[in-house]
């Protein structure tokens, strides 16, 4: 059994910088035609010059001329119309982080008064720049995303011409909100389709499955699977693949992030085939994103076959999801 994907896209990817970038960028570039790259470095990407420099570093590290890094800015409420108009051609979106809510987000937004955010968001609406949001409050960890849903709703109502991407959604409440507003869209990760909190902490703690937002309940996973498996036009694949050195995962203060880039397409083929909807995978990993963002990625054909794939224990010093396990699908060739 085989299946061919055309120009697969990862619309939420962390590539880091320095040595880590050199390790992980080729793994995404090998199988994906493009990826939306997150800006939460230290310091965060906040200027046109920083965007250009980071993109050049990614291109050099990726070692693949058929891979497009779609760039983002780290949201700041002081961005005005003139600044955004100047930077528009170098970015695809702007990423908003609540302050301190996840890795390298201390410089994020700490005031969600829409009046305070309005000048920047109105300029983004006029210029057609999408807003990507890490949607969590600082409340009880299992409730953080659900508590953020009213903020999504206020944003959607106040700025109806602004394309808003609810990043890496994990709850049934987020799925329900997604369907209520024309300008809301969402990314769904590989790991949230596979795991619940029980897989992370139900037995021995599994640090390499710890992420933010944390995996939720079985009913939440079911809601995600329903819209992903039907490849609903409002959802698209975004891995949120977030590499950390093993020393920062298997340690006190475990870093948040699941590294899925090198296994994503094989694992997606496996779970979509098990659900009997393999034919919908193309829309989920490429077609929907192209329509939502209005992009045309490079042509890249990825042939997958149903054959055992033993996942390596690590890539460099990073442990992937499914390390040492066998998946039932693998990538055979990329053209």
Q: What is the DSSP string of 149-186?
A: HHHHHHHHHH-TTS-EEETT--SHHHHHHHTT-TTEEE
What's the burial of 158, exposed, middle or buried (CB within 10 Å: 0-12/13-18/19+)?
middle
Q: State how beta strands 184-188 and 164-166 pair.
A: parallel
In 3-state terms, what secondary structure has residue 241?
Answer: strand
Residue 41 · residue 54 · CB < 8 Å: yes
CA quadruple 282, 283, 285, 286: dihedral, nearest 10: 100
240 is catalytic: yes
For residue 310 the two structure tokens come to 């033993």
What is the number of helices (H) and of strands (E) in the chain? 13, 14
| Dihedral angle over CA of 26, 30, 31, 32, nearest 10 | 60
Asked if 146 contacts 173 with a C-beta cutoff of 8 angstroms, the reply is: yes
Select which of 110, 240, 287, 317 is catalytic.
Answer: 240
Distance CA 193, CA 5 (A): 19
The residues that are catalytic are 240
């Amino acid at each position: 059994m085989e299946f061919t994907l055309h120009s697969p896209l990862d619309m939420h990817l962390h590539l880091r910088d320095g040595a880590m970038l050199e390790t992980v960028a080729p793994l995404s570039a090998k199988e994906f035609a493009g990826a939306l790259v997150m800006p939460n470095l230290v310091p965060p990407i906040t200027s046109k010059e920083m965007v250009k420099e980071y993109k050049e570093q990614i291109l050099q590290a990726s070692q693949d001329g058929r891979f497009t890094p779609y760039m983002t800015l780290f949201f700041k409420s002081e961005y005005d119309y003139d600044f955004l108009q100047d930077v528009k051609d170098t970015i695809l979106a702007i990423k908003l982080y609540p302050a301190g809510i996840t890795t390298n987000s201390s410089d994020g937004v700490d005031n969600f008064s829409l009046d305070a955010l309005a000048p920047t968001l109105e300029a983004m609406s006029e210029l057609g720049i999408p807003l990507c949001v890490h949607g969590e409050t600082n409340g009880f960890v299992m409730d953080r995303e659900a508590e953020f849903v009213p903020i999504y709703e206020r944003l959607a109502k106040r700025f109806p011409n602004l394309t808003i991407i609810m990043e890496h959604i994990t709850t049934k409440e987020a799925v329900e909100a997604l369907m209520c507003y024309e300008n809301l869209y969402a990314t769904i990760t590989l790991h949230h389709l596979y795991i619940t909190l029980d897989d992370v902490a139900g037995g021995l703690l599994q640090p390499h499955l710890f992420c933010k937002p944390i995996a939720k309940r079985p009913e939440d996973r079911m809601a995600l699977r329903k819209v992903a498996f039907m490849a609903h036009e409002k959802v698209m694949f975004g891995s949120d693949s977030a590499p950390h050195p093993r020393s920062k995962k298997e340690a006190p203060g475990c870093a948040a992030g699941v590294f899925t880039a090198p296994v994503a397409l094989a694992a997606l083929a496996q779970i979509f085939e098990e659900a009997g909807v393999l034919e919908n995978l193309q829309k989920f990993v490429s077609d929907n994103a192209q329509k939502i963002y209005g992009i045309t990625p490079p042509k890249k054909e990825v042939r997958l076959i149903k054959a055992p794939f033993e996942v390596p224990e690590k890539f460099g010093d990073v442990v992937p999801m499914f390390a040492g396990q066998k998946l039932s699908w693998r990538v055979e060739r990329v053209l």
